[in-house]
Amino acid sequence: MFDAFSARAVTTIVLLWLVSSGLQAVQVVNINKESSGIVLGKSGQILEDASTSLGIEALLNGGAVWVASDSSSLNPGFSHSAWWMRFTLLNGTETSLNKLIDTQTAIADYLDIYIVRSSGAIEHFESGDRRPFSTRPLHTRSVVVPVEFKPGEMLQVYIRQSTWDGLHESVTPSLWESELYSSHVQTETLAFGLCYGVMLAILVYNLFIYFSTREHTIPLYLFYVTTFFIWSIIFRGYAFQYLWPESPHLNNQAIAFSSSLIYTTVGCFTIRYLTIKEFMPRWWYRSMCIITGLNTVVVFIPLAGFYALTFAFQIPVGIMLVLSAFASAIYLMPKGVRTAYYFMLAFFCVGLGAAMYYLKVLGILEANALTEYSVQFGSSLEVLLLALGLADHMNVLKAEKLEIERKALATQEKYTFKLEQDVLARTQQLEAANQRLENLAIRDELTGAYNRRHFNELFDRALAVHIRQNTPFALCLIDLDYFKDYNDLCGHLAGDDVLRKVTACLQEQLKRANDHIFRLSDLFRVGGEEFALILSVTRPAQRCQDFVESIREAIEQLDIEHPGSDKKVVTASFGLLILDDKSGPVTAEEIYSKADKLLYQAKSKGRNRVVHQSF
C-alpha cells in the first residue's frame, strides 16, 4: 500500500532526477484534489527552436537553454520558429488525481503536448487547427489534454507550438479538475450563447426595420454585425467543432477572411453611419474610402492560402482605419452629430473588452469570467449601442422631415410678415445700438466706472430727491495718495492698472442699488486719480462713516506697491459729506465744495484717512 513515506521517497527521487537532468530551474506546481483553474504559464519556462527540428528526446537529454516565463501565455506572435513551454506538476497527495490541461486556444496551428513521467514514459498528443478536429483528445473547442497523476507523482508537461506560415496564436495553459471544468465549459457556453443570441436578435430586428423604412445605413450595419458574428464563432472554435471538423484548411482561411472582412464592413458602415461625406472635409472622406479599399484588398489574401501574410497587412491597415474612424467621431461630436456619440461609446466598449482580454493573456490581469469573456460582452454592447444609434438617427431624420414640412407650411405666412419682422428687427438693433452708445457715453473707458456726465445727472437727481423728500444722502470724494509720483516712478501704464484695480475694489464694496461710483477725470480739475461716491444713508449716520472707513481699508489691503509713498502701498484720502434730512436748501456747487474741503483736510492731516462732516 502506498503510504505517506513512500510518496515522500518518490518525490525526493524525482527531484534528484530533475537536478541531475538540468531542470532544477523549473518551478514545481504542487496540486491536490481541489486544484482547479490554475494558470500554469508563469510557473514554466520557454524555449525558442529556430530550426524547428528539436524533438522531445533531444530536450530531455539536456543542453537546451530555457528561459523563465514572465507571462501566463506563450505568445510569440510573428515567428517561423517552433516554441516550447514546459512546467512541472507534483501530486502532493496520497491518492490518484485526474486533471485536465486546457491550452485555452482554438486556433493554434500545430500543438504537440508531451507528458513526461518520472519513470521515463512519454505520452504524446497531437492537435491544433491545422489538423482534423478528430485529433483532439477531448471533444472541446479548445485543445484540452487529460492527465492522470499517481500518488506523489511528479511529471513534466511540454507544449510545442509551430505554425503554418509564421503567425503563432496565444497559448495560456491552465489546470482543471474534471468536474469543475465541465461546469466551466457550461458557463462559458451559456455566456457565448447569450452574446450570440443578442447579436442574432438584433440582426433579425434590424432586418425588419430595414424592410419597413428602407434606411440605407441599416444594410451596412447588418453586414458588419453578420461578419463579426461569423468571425466570432470561427475564432472561438465553434465552427471548427461543429461545422467543418475535418476541414482545417477551410477553417484557417475562414478565420483570416472573416477577420479582414470585418474591417471592410466597419469602414463602409462608419462612412455612412457618421455621415462623413456630408460633414467631414472632402479629402478626409476620400482618405477613408482609400483606407477601406486597402482593407478590401486584404480580404483576398487568405484565399491564396497566406494566413500570416493576411494579418501582416491587416494589422497596420486596420489600425489606420480604426484611428481614422475614432478621429472622425471626435471631430463630429462637437458639431452635434448624435451618431458620433453612440459610435464612440460602442467602440469604447469593444475596445475595452479587447484590452482586458489581451491584458489577461499577457498575465497583467487575473484570469476570471470578466476578463475571459470581455470581448464577447464588449461586442454585444457595441452591437446594441450601434443599433440604438441607428434608431436615434432614424428618429432624428423623422423629426427633420416633420420640421421641413412645418417650415414649408409656415413659409407663406413668414413671407407675409417678413417686412414687418425686418422693420421690428432693425428697430431692435437700433435700440440695442443706442443702448450701447448710451452706456459708453456714461462710462469711463479706462475703469468702467460712471463718468463725469453721469455724475452730474445722478448728483442733481439725488439732490432734488433730498430737497423734496427730506431724505439723507452722502457725497464722498476720494483721491489716491501721491498718485502723480506713482505715475512718474512706475509709468502711466502701471498707473492705469492701479486705477482699474481700485475701481474694482470700490465696486465690490458697493452693495446697494442707490450707491454709485464715479471717476472724476477732468470734472472739476485736471487729474485721473479722483473718484466720487454717491451713497444712500441709513440712520444713524455713523454707519455711513464706518462704511467709508471700510472702503479705505479695502484699498490699502490691495497691497499695491507704491515706492513714492511713506506707506509703501497705494492708499487713498476721503472727504465725506453727509446731508441729513434737515440740511435745508443747498446747491450742487456748495455740496461739492464742502466735500472737497473735507478731502483737502484728509490730505493735509497725513493722507490715508477719512474726514467727514454732517450738514
Arithmetic mean of pLDDT, 388-405 = 73
CA distances from 385 to 144, 225, 232, 347, 395 (A): 36, 12, 18, 9, 15
* φ, ψ for residue 87, nearest 5 deg: -155, 160
DSSP state letter for 106 = S
For residues 463 and 469, give the distance between their C-alpha atoms in angstroms, rounded to a whole number.
10
Q: Does domain 4-177 have CATH number 2.60.40.2380?
A: yes
Arithmetic mean of pLDDT, 435-463 = 82
CA distances from 266 to 220, 225, 283, 296 (A): 8, 9, 19, 11
DSSP assignment of 42-87: GGSEEEEETTS---HHHHHTS----EE--SSSB---B-SSEEEEEE
Most confident of 104-108, 398-402, 442-446: 104-108
pLDDT of residue 409 exceeding 80, the answer is no
Q: Please tell me whether the overall predicted TM-score, pTM, comes out greater than 0.95 for this model.
A: no
Q: CB of 41 within 8 A of CB of 74?
A: yes
For residues 362 and 41, give the distance between their C-alpha atoms in angstroms, rounded to a whole number.
10
371-389 pLDDT, tens digit per residue, is 666 777 777 787 778 888 7
26-41 pLDDT, tens digit per residue, is 589 999 988 888 889 8
The continuous run of DSSP H or E covering 272 comes out as helix 248-273
For residues 321 and 72, give the distance between their C-alpha atoms in angstroms, rounded to a whole number.
31
Residues in Cβ contact with 228 at an 8 Å cutoff, skipping those fewer than 6 apart? 199, 262, 265, 379, 383
Give the right CATH number for 447-614 from 3.90.440.10, 3.30.70.270, 3.40.50.2000, 3.40.50.300: 3.30.70.270
Cα 201-207-209 angle, rounded to 5 deg? 105
Cα 482-451-479 angle, rounded to 5 deg? 20
Ranges of beta strands (E only) in 199-349 are none
DSSP state letter for 582 = T
Domain spans of the chain?
4-177, 215-336, 447-614
Q: Which of 268, 252, 266, 262 is nearest to 303 (CA)?
A: 252
Q: Is 36 left (phi over 0), alpha (psi -120 to 50) or beta?
A: beta
Q: CB of 59 within 8 A of CB of 48?
A: no
286-326 pLDDT, tens digit per residue, is 999 999 999 899 999 998 888 889 888 888 888 898 889 88
Q: CB of 54 within 8 A of CB of 82?
A: yes
Ranges of beta strands (E only) in 303-438 are none
Q: CB of 124 within 8 A of CB of 112?
A: yes
476-526 pLDDT, tens digit per residue, is 999 999 998 899 899 989 989 999 999 999 999 888 888 889 988 654 443
SS3 530: strand
